[in-house]
Amino acid sequence: MAELLAPEVRSWLLGELARVISLRGAGTFLEALILEPTPRHFPDPFEASEQGVRVLLRRLLGYAGLDGLEVELGTFSAPDEVRELDDHGRAKAWGHEGAAAMFHGVEAGRCVFSVAEERIGEPVTLVATLCHEVTHAWRAVHGLVAEDHDLEEQLTDLSTVYLGFGLLTTNGAYLYRASSEYEGAQAFNRWSHTRAGYLPPEAMSFLLAAQVRARGLGWWARSRLAGKLETNQAAYFKWACSVLGDGAAVRDALGMPEA
């Protein structure tokens, strides 16, 4: 596979990940559950409602070590954008690149969030976005917030991997879905492109691979994780595992002591 990330980008990602590890310790990075979209990690049945979002937020806050905080949740509207029409004037391609949820701060022991009404019924995008927003809360609680907004958004994506949310946020970084509808004998093909987060899927896959390598996970474990990634992200992840080297090399790059 061709070079997916320039060496300077890989160096920046590892450097910023090393900074989070130096500030918050290596324990979480090496030992936290790498969350998967399964009943083992999310035992509550998915409910496409505000209450369902609250349940997800409380569980994610618990995984982030913030289970002592309550959840306050509001909603806003962020409809999909039609990108292309077919010959009959029907929506053929659409997408969404705006925020699906937002973190508004911690007030009197409560984490204040809002979620786009249109995204509540999309579990992959919703969970990935909530992971990002909960990580915003984690960075705020621990005094890690960067002054530059765009940089803080990128570092929040990066920190989701540190917390064990990386499989979910890597999948949410880019989703492509295709479908067909029939009217009589006529077939209409439609597709959607959804992006969540601020780092591209190549970068998120690289960070997830760095965590897996640092943990010294073997071929079988890496293959099992790759099997839970979206098709493109799985390819990026495998490429990153190959260029990162073994666990000792990655731990050294991250400034971590020998395991």
Q: CATH number of the domain that 82 lies in?
A: 3.30.2010
In which domain, by residue range, is 114 found?
Answer: 46-155+185-198
- Report the predicted TM-score, pTM, of the whole model to 2 decimal places: 0.85
Q: Tell me if 248 is assigned to some domain.
A: no
> Using CA atoms, how far apart are residues 69 and 78, in angstroms rounded to an integer?
27
pLDDT at 92: 39
> Using CA atoms, how far apart are residues 189 and 179, in angstroms rounded to an integer?
6
> Using CA atoms, how far apart are residues 44 and 60, in angstroms rounded to an integer?
12
Q: Tell me if 235 is assigned to some domain.
A: no
> Using CA atoms, how far apart are residues 13 and 20, in angstroms rounded to an integer?
11
Q: Tell me if 222 is assigned to some domain.
A: no
Q: Tell me if 250 is assigned to some domain.
A: no
Q: Tell me if 19 is assigned to some domain.
A: no
Q: Tell me if 4 is assigned to some domain.
A: no
Q: Tell me if 246 is assigned to some domain.
A: no
pLDDT 10s digit of each residue in the chain, 259 long?
Answer: 568 899 999 999 999 999 999 999 999 999 999 999 999 999 998 889 999 999 999 999 999 999 999 999 999 886 554 444 444 444 433 344 557 889 999 999 999 999 988 878 888 888 999 999 999 999 999 999 999 999 999 999 999 999 999 999 999 886 544 444 545 554 444 444 355 668 999 999 999 999 999 999 999 999 999 999 999 999 999 999 999 999 999 999 999 876 5
pLDDT at 2: 66
Q: Tell me if 148 is assigned to some domain.
A: yes
Number of domains in the chain: 1
